[in-house]
Structure 1
Amino acid sequence: MTRMFLFALLAAAAPLFARASEGLWGIAPCELCLWQRWPYWVAAGLAVLAALLPGWRRPLGLLAVVAVLASGAIAGFHVGVEQGWWPSPLPGCQVPRAAGGTSINEMMRALAPAPSKPCDAPTYLVPGLPLSMAAMNLLYALGLSAAMLIWMRRGVRA
Structure 2
Amino acid sequence: MALLVPALLLGGAIGSQIFGGLTPCEMCIWQRWPHGAAILLALGGYLLKGQRRLMVMLAALAIAVSGGIGVYHAGVELDIFEGLTSCASTTAGGLDTIMGAPIVRCDAVQWEFLGISMAGWNAIISLGAAALIAIGISKKGRA
* Interval of TM-score (by shorter of Structure 1 and Structure 2): 0.7 to 0.9
Gaps of 5+ in 1: 1-5, 95-108
Which of structures 1 and 2 has the bigger CA Rg?
1
**Residue in 2 that maps onto 1:65:** 60
TM-score, structure 1 as length reference: 0.76
Indicate conservation of the 8 Å contact 2:68/2:127, yes or no.
no
Of the three residues 106, 122, 127, the one matched with 1:137 is: 122
C-alpha distance 120-93 of structure 1, shift in aligned 2 (>3 A) = farther
**Residue in 2 that maps onto 1:49:** 44
Indicate conservation of the 8 Å contact 1:58/1:152, yes or no.
yes
Indicate conservation of the 8 Å contact 1:93/1:119, yes or no.
no
Pair 1:113-2:96 in alignment: no
Pair 1:32-2:52 in alignment: no
Distance 1:92 1:41 in 2: 25
Q: Deviations over 1:16-65 (max 9, x none)?
A: 11110122221221110011001001011001111211211122111111
Secondary structure, counterpart of 1:118 in structure 2: coil
Q: What amino acid does structure 1 have at the position aligned with 2:137?
A: M
Gaps of 5+ in 2: 90-95
**Residue in 2 that maps onto 1:79:** 74
Q: Deviations over 1:108-135 (max 9, x none)?
A: x8x7320131000013333xx1100100
Range moving further from structure 2, 20-29 or 37-46? 20-29
Distance 1:50 1:25 in 2: 33
How big is the alpha-carbon RMSD for the aligned residues of Structure 1 and Structure 2? 2.1
Pair 1:17-2:12 in alignment: yes
C-alpha distance 74-150 of structure 1, shift in aligned 2 (>3 A) = same
Q: Deviations over 1:59-113 (max 9, x none)?
A: 211111110111011111101111112222363469xxxxxxxxxxxxxx8x732
Distance 2:73 2:5 in 1: 21
Of the three residues 3, 20, 39, the one matched with 1:8 is: 3
Residue-pair matches, total? 134
Indicate conservation of the 8 Å contact 1:92/1:116, yes or no.
no
C-alpha distance 93-78 of structure 1, shift in aligned 2 (>3 A) = farther
Deviation at 1:150, TM superposition (A): 2.3
Range moving further from structure 2, 8-17 or 64-73? 8-17
C-alpha distance 22-142 of structure 1, shift in aligned 2 (>3 A) = same
